[in-house]
Amino acid sequence: MRDYKWRLQENVISDADLELLVHFIRTTKRFTQFTKVREFEEAFAAWQGCKYCIMVNSGSSANLVAVAVAKEMHGWSSGDEVLVPAVTWPTTVTPVMQLGLKPVFVDVNLRDLSFDYDALENAVTRQTKAVFAPHLLGFPADVARLKAVCASHGLILLEDCCESQGAVVEGAKVGNHGLAGTFSFYWGHHMTTVEGGMICTNDDEVRDLALLKRSHGLARELPQDAHAALRRRYSDVVFDFLFLTDGFNVRNTEFNAVLGLAQLARLDDFIRIRNRNYTRFLEICTPFEDELILLRGLGMSAFVLPFVFRDVARKTAFEAILRRAGIESRPLISGNLLRQPVFSTFGESCDFPNAEYLHLHAFYIGNNQFVEAERLAALQELMGAFFARPTGVAR
Would you tell me which residues interact with ligand PLP (CB under 6 A)? 58-60, 63, 88-89, 91-92, 134, 160, 162-163, 184, 186, 197
CB neighbours of residue 158 within 10 Å: 28
Looking at the Cβ atoms of 66 and 244, the one nearer to ligand PLP is 66
Find the shortest distance in angstroms from Cβ 184 to ligand PLP: 3
270 close to 367: Cβ distance less than 8 angstroms: no
Find the shortest distance in angstroms from Cβ 69 to ligand PLP: 16
Burial 65-88 (b: 16+ CB within 10 A, else e): bbbbbbbbeeebeeebbbbbbbbb
Q: Which amino acid is located at 177 in the chain?
A: H
64 close to 250: Cβ distance less than 8 angstroms: yes
Looking at the Cβ atoms of 142 and 160, the one nearer to ligand PLP is 160
Looking at the Cβ atoms of 91 and 201, the one nearer to ligand PLP is 91
Beta-bridge partner residues of 198: 55, 183
* Catalytic residue status for 74: no
Find the shortest distance in angstroms from Cβ 134 to ligand PLP: 5
Looking at the Cβ atoms of 184 and 336, the one nearer to ligand PLP is 184
Looking at the Cβ atoms of 8 and 317, the one nearer to ligand PLP is 8
CA distances from 150 to 8, 79, 127, 170 (A): 36, 19, 13, 16
Position of minimal CB gap to ligand PLP:
59
336 close to 352: Cβ distance less than 8 angstroms: yes
Find the shortest distance in angstroms from Cβ 261 to ligand PLP: 18
Find the shortest distance in angstroms from Cβ 236 to ligand PLP: 39
Give the angle subtended at the CA of 337 by the CAs of 68 and 111, to the nearest 5°. 95
Of the residues 189, 216, 359, 361, which is catalytic? 189
- What distance, in Å, lies between the first and last C-alpha atoms of the chain? 29
Instruction: Write out the catalytic residue numbers.
Output: 189
